[in-house]
Amino acid sequence: MEDESERRALSRRAFLQLVTAAAATAGTACFRSPLDTLVPYVERPPELTPGVGTPYATSFELDGYATGVVVECREGRPIKVEGNPLHPASGGAAGVHEQAALLDLYDPTRARALTRDGEVASWSALSAALRSGAADGTGLHVLLGPTASPLVAAQLARLRERRPRARIHFFEALPPAPTVALASEILGRPLQPLPDLGRARCIVAADCDLFGAEPFALRHAADFAAGRRVRRPSDPMSRLYALGPTPTPTADAADHRLPCTGRAVPHFLAALLEAVLRAEGAPGELTQALAPIAAAAPHAGTIERIAGDLRAHRGEALVVAGRGQPAVAHALAWALTDVLGGIGKTLSFTEPLLADATNRDETLPALVDAMASGAVERLVILEVDPARLAPPALRFADAVRRVRDSVALAPHRNETAALCRWHAPSLHALESWGDGRALDGTVSLVQPLVRPLWEGCTRAELLAALVDDDAASGRALLRTAWAAEGRDAEEAFTAALARGVVEASAARRPAARIRLDAVIRMAGEAAAAETPRDGDVELVFRPDPALHDGRFAANAWLQELPDPVTKLTWENAAWLGPETARGLGASDGTWLRVAREGRSIEIPAIIVPGHAEGSVTLLLGFGPRSHLPASHGGGVDVTPLVPAGLPLASGLVTRVEGRPPHRLARTQQSQRQHDRSVARERTRESLEAAEAPRPLDAFYAPPQGDPPQWAMTVDLTVCTGCSACVVACQAENDVPVVGRDEILRGREMHWLRIDRYAEGGDAAPRTVSQPMLCQQCELAPCEYVCPVEATVHSRDGLNDMVYNRCVGTRFCSNNCPYKVRRFNWRDYQADVPEVTRLQRNPDVTVRARGVMEKCTYCVQRIRRAQIRARRDARPLEDGEVRTACQQTCPTRAITFGSIADAQSAVSRTRAAPQAYAVLEELGTRPRTMYLARVRNPLPGLGVDG
């Protein structure tokens, strides 16, 4: 009896028929391809040169604040996002979100038409519906996310003026601590904090992911890195203490990692304040008031020493609390900075920047109450997704159904859009006019680089439709708002568009005085209000470093971007400390049930050394989505457990019995080095002696070449593992996305990966993030074994990969000690949707199935710069060629150039005492070298804290 599989198998006869047919058709494949066409413009735009990219400045807003970018356009298609050097939040760098947002422009799942009750509708009908209600705005409610955009702020003000009874609500999945309200209380006026890491030499980051989740992260990372480039023991170096439950890029960059639960953070800060005050000789009643709170501080043994270190850096000390910490932690951090003389130096305060910042009481619960009571006739939801992200206890969905006309502006037909009567597709930032403000107040403009691919409108345009009688275009709105600011000149507007930033628009920084007694009283009240419950585990909610709150779930680059810490892709897991996991009997992939207030989720565990015990970190942004294919709905939606206020809660965590463990799609299986010094670390004191090289005698003679000789160095001291370089490489080199199943088979394609190694105890390991890319070995093991010479050395020291010669033996990959070669197991590029192909870099070959590929040092950029320099009859300057990863690195960890020039930046960094080559004992003579991680621990405190 033949079973199913046998029947489907090929018969011998059919096989021979197919082989014959294949052989016969193979013979025809050599002929010329069918005639191709050349399509010129009818009238070429004057600013455009076909074949050459045109850069435009614009900006992206995330969590309310803007980051300036420069986007390269090729024949009208935006193909690459880089940072804007003139913008204070960017300084030339772009993070993962700014860069990957480019892919969202070409997202085929975007909504393409305005719909009403699911049917395509006309925009005039929507305008009519928006204006249909009472003229004074009774029953009109607007819900939006926080924004510092001056245009939107002006429109909200206009809405209040023209429709005085309209109400404006703000929603954010994980709202930050209300620092503006806090400032009103303890500074006497509403202000918002602005840390300046450039002036800080001793920093305590209290549950604060300065280089990741916080606004201004790129700038903070750059400022921090500037104080960490040491070459000699005598060079000054800043020191960072990282406190908090979750290992983050900031904690990884720290000299001392101090894991503790999120709840314990205020206690630690109180103890630190008490120690500092005591040493400063402050009145006894102040320190005594803090004593009860300080008594419960974690890492009590370290506090005196850290306080001493902070005091030794008077005027250069900074204590900063994170978004997820309660107001009291921020108050204590400000007080500490104040006592240490940092106010006005390491910490300034600016006027509030977010629209309606001082009037934030109309939050989501107020809206839901109004809806439930039937008072809401028209609801306009602007680019937020409360149907998915609001706490389920609010019953947002039920309430919306009682609204007569609900309008959702959203890029996709997401949960909120599906719930509302109207769904207006929102335009991508690269299709929009608008503006934004950075955390320091600098205004930047948003300009479209491409006409909308599909119909849609912006926040500003929809708000205008609510207020104004005649519809104005996005540009007209921006231009009017610009003129209203008293800056009428068209030239100034054009100049600002060209530069991307408005000159001298940074917010004023008024002097601020911290009322210490108010802080201490507040700390006392907070301690009294606390009711710890035994047996509960602390739940810490954080936005995913890639998908954020889920708004980037459609983005395949971000889905496949390995988490900076766990290296998990396409899904999330509950992060546990090793002891907590042992207590639960859990290992990687064990299913856990996490319950809070009657709701529970099941989520696989992942053990993260350095995570605080007694605490579990849950990442937002995952889980199935109604508007996305199942592949983009990996992981578990944790929103059912998210509390309404701060993202800290208590919950019960138990093991799910009987459910087979989940296979986690990680790109790095072990974070131990197994006694190989691949990622090295040193202390500042040891820099006197250079790394001892261990090259072996080479069997082959090194290849001869002519200048330039390309080389790269990566400074592990300043690398935070933020992964911006990985996305930059993916965008520049058309690196395919392979999906979760292929990741599980170890087939990820990233040319540049970031390996993370953890050494030392599991409680507080010392970690090193190491960008690993083709090392461009001078004596490359891959080259010896290629039977078809598909990988050969170039005269300028590159290990060239010739796709059209490659026959796919994979010998090169097997012989590569660094495992940086990637093989096209499938035709990944063919899976890319037609519209998404518009993003591809036309200067890079699209690789087919069966071909090996790897980092080329962005050879297309090298050749372009060389041709440009030769055209202008001048020598290529040092620093003129910048690889994509180098260009976007916020901390400037990557240096690239020619070592034929002894004065080049890369030659000088290679001469640093901590420079070394990975696996140099193999005699491969890599051109990519690393600068060992230099730590600056406080003597006597111990690196493990």
Partner 1 sequence: MPALFPRWSNALLAAALVGLAVLAFGGLGFLMLFQRTVFVTGEGRPLAQPVAFDHRHHAGDDAIDCRYCHDLAERSPRAGIPPTSRCLGCHSQIWNESPALAAVWRSFEADRPIAWTRVYVLPDFVFFDHSAHVTHGVGCVTCHGRVDRMARVEQAVPLTMRWCVDCHRDPGPRLRPRGEIASMTWRAADPAQGHALATRYAVAPGTDCSTCHR
Residues forming contacts to partner 1 in the complex (CB under 8 A) are 30-33, 35-44, 49-52, 792, 794-796, 798, 800, 802-804, 843-846, 856, 859-860, 863, 867, 870-871, 873
Q: Is the Cβ–Cβ distance between 889 and 93 less than 8 Å?
A: yes
Residue with Cβ nearer partner 1 (31 or 699) = 31
C-alpha–C-alpha distance, residues 209 and 854, integer Å: 32
C-alpha–C-alpha distance, residues 144 and 63, integer Å: 11
Q: Is the Cβ–Cβ distance between 538 and 649 less than 8 Å?
A: yes
Q: Shortest approach of partner 1 to residue 754 CB, angstroms?
A: 24
Residue with Cβ nearer partner 1 (803 or 811) = 803
Residue 206 β-bridge partners: 243, 321
Q: Shortest approach of partner 1 to residue 154 CB, angstroms?
A: 37
Helix or strand or coil: residue 788?
coil
Residue with Cβ nearer partner 1 (447 or 856) = 856
Longest dimension (CA), the chain: 97
Residue 529's CB is within 10 A of a number of other CB atoms, namely 8
Which of 255, 391, 252, 273 has the alpha carbon at shortest distance from 321? 273
Q: Shortest approach of partner 1 to residue 875 CB, angstroms?
A: 10
Q: Shortest approach of partner 1 to residue 856 CB, angstroms?
A: 7
Residue with Cβ nearer partner 1 (15 or 41) = 41
- Find the angle CA(820)-CA(779)-CA(749) to the nearest 5 degrees: 10
Q: Shortest approach of partner 1 to residue 447 CB, angstroms?
A: 24
- Find the angle CA(282)-CA(284)-CA(288) to the nearest 5 degrees: 115
- Listed in sequence order, the residues at least 6 apart from 124 whose beta carbon sits closer than 8 Å to its beta carbon are none
C-alpha–C-alpha distance, residues 433 and 478, integer Å: 7
Phi, psi angle pair for 320, to nearest 5°: -140, 135
Residue 602 β-bridge partners: 593
* Structure tokens belonging to residue 873: 């009859």
Residue with Cβ nearer partner 1 (44 or 165) = 44
C-alpha–C-alpha distance, residues 287 and 292, integer Å: 10
Q: What is the CA radius of gyration of the chain?
A: 29
Residue with Cβ nearer partner 1 (35 or 701) = 35
Residue with Cβ nearer partner 1 (417 or 801) = 801
Directed axis angle between helix 265-280 and helix 284-294, to 10°? 150
Residue with Cβ nearer partner 1 (470 or 706) = 706
Residue with Cβ nearer partner 1 (49 or 358) = 49
Q: Shortest approach of partner 1 to residue 41 CB, angstroms?
A: 4
Q: Shortest approach of partner 1 to residue 37 CB, angstroms?
A: 4
Residue 604 β-bridge partners: 591
C-alpha–C-alpha distance, residues 694 and 578, integer Å: 36
Residue 92 β-bridge partners: none
Residue with Cβ nearer partner 1 (676 or 795) = 795
Q: Shortest approach of partner 1 to residue 31 CB, angstroms?
A: 6
Q: Shortest approach of partner 1 to residue 275 CB, angstroms?
A: 59
Residue with Cβ nearer partner 1 (25 or 33) = 33
Residue with Cβ nearer partner 1 (39 or 135) = 39
Q: Shortest approach of partner 1 to residue 327 CB, angstroms?
A: 54
Q: Shortest approach of partner 1 to residue 474 CB, angstroms?
A: 24
In eight-state DSSP terms, residue 10 is P
Q: Is the Cβ–Cβ distance between 125 and 328 less than 8 Å?
A: no
Q: Is the Cβ–Cβ distance between 459 and 453 less than 8 Å?
A: no
C-alpha–C-alpha distance, residues 269 and 306, integer Å: 11
C-alpha–C-alpha distance, residues 714 and 770, integer Å: 8
C-alpha–C-alpha distance, residues 90 and 103, integer Å: 20
Q: Shortest approach of partner 1 to residue 726 CB, angstroms?
A: 20
Q: Shortest approach of partner 1 to residue 882 CB, angstroms?
A: 16
Strands 54-62 and 65-74, by their bridges, are antiparallel
C-alpha–C-alpha distance, residues 649 and 536, integer Å: 9
Residue with Cβ nearer partner 1 (206 or 798) = 798
C-alpha–C-alpha distance, residues 711 and 898, integer Å: 6
Q: Shortest approach of partner 1 to residue 782 CB, angstroms?
A: 14
Q: Shortest approach of partner 1 to residue 730 CB, angstroms?
A: 17
Residue with Cβ nearer partner 1 (27 or 660) = 27
Which of 509, 458, 397 has the alpha carbon at shortest distance from 147? 458
Residue with Cβ nearer partner 1 (33 or 124) = 33
Q: Shortest approach of partner 1 to residue 415 CB, angstroms?
A: 41
Q: Shortest approach of partner 1 to residue 860 CB, angstroms?
A: 5
C-alpha–C-alpha distance, residues 338 and 58, integer Å: 37
Residue with Cβ nearer partner 1 (696 or 807) = 807
Q: Is the Cβ–Cβ distance between 379 and 424 less than 8 Å?
A: no
C-alpha–C-alpha distance, residues 703 and 699, integer Å: 12
Helices (H), 234-264: 249-253
Q: Is the Cβ–Cβ distance between 556 and 632 less than 8 Å?
A: yes
Residue 772 β-bridge partners: 753
Q: Shortest approach of partner 1 to residue 549 CB, angstroms?
A: 38
C-alpha–C-alpha distance, residues 427 and 452, integer Å: 7
Q: Is the Cβ–Cβ distance between 53 and 72 less than 8 Å?
A: yes
C-alpha–C-alpha distance, residues 333 and 276, integer Å: 12
Residue with Cβ nearer partner 1 (123 or 803) = 803
Helices (H), 163-283: 179-186, 217-226, 249-253, 265-280
Residue with Cβ nearer partner 1 (800 or 878) = 800
